[in-house]
Homo-oligomer: A and B are copies of this chain.
């Protein structure tokens, strides 16, 4: 068995195991371009999120989800924290972030125009999966620097201990896995 079968909102997805180290692995949930899954879970998450003044996600996995939820909530746009500085950006804010799916330290940048849009506003942070919480914390630091007030945090899945958080709106828990000596994986 080299994949974990995730069942969510009536859909099944087979997530390949990715080793974190010799003992621990996670199941890779790639929602970035999964139209069927995004369009199925977005209404469920949108209902749980309810009212918010702005929706903020990080490039790139959360973009389709943020688009669909903003559309369902009647928001004209959402905000994307980007992973590199683009030539269109004016006075971007910058915070470092370490992610479970990327081996190096990345940065999150917020365009100065987006800073103006969320300053003083109640925002909901959105991600596909919350795991260690590092990405979400970086996003929170970024939008807080921009003067926004984070009132909600939402994700499709809460991985491992993130499922114990009481400040997170999520649809389902995603387990972490122990790697057995025989190469099989066991849910923790």
Contacts and interface: CB of A to CB of B under 8 A. Distances in A.
Nearest to A66: B33
B87 A101 contact: yes
A68 interface: yes
Contacts of A77: 33-36
Contacts of A75: 35
A137 to B, nearest CB: 20
Q: How many chain copies?
A: 2
A18 B16 CA distance: 42
A87 B28 contact: yes
> How many of chain A's residues touch chain B, expressed as a range?
20 to 34
Interface in A125-172: none
Contacts of A38: 67
Nearest to A64: B67
Contact of A88 (B16, B36, B71, B79): B16
Contacts of A86: 101-102
Contacts of A32: 63, 80
A18 B102 contact: no
B35 A76 contact: yes
Interface string A56-82: 000110011011101100011111101
Given A67-B33, A76-B35, A60 B82 contact: yes
A39 B39 CA distance: 14
Given A63-B60, A63-B63, A63-B64, A88 B35 contact: no
Contacts of A21: none
B60 A88 contact: no
7 contacts: A34-B76, A34-B77, A36-B76, A39-B71, A63-B64, A64-B66, A87-B101
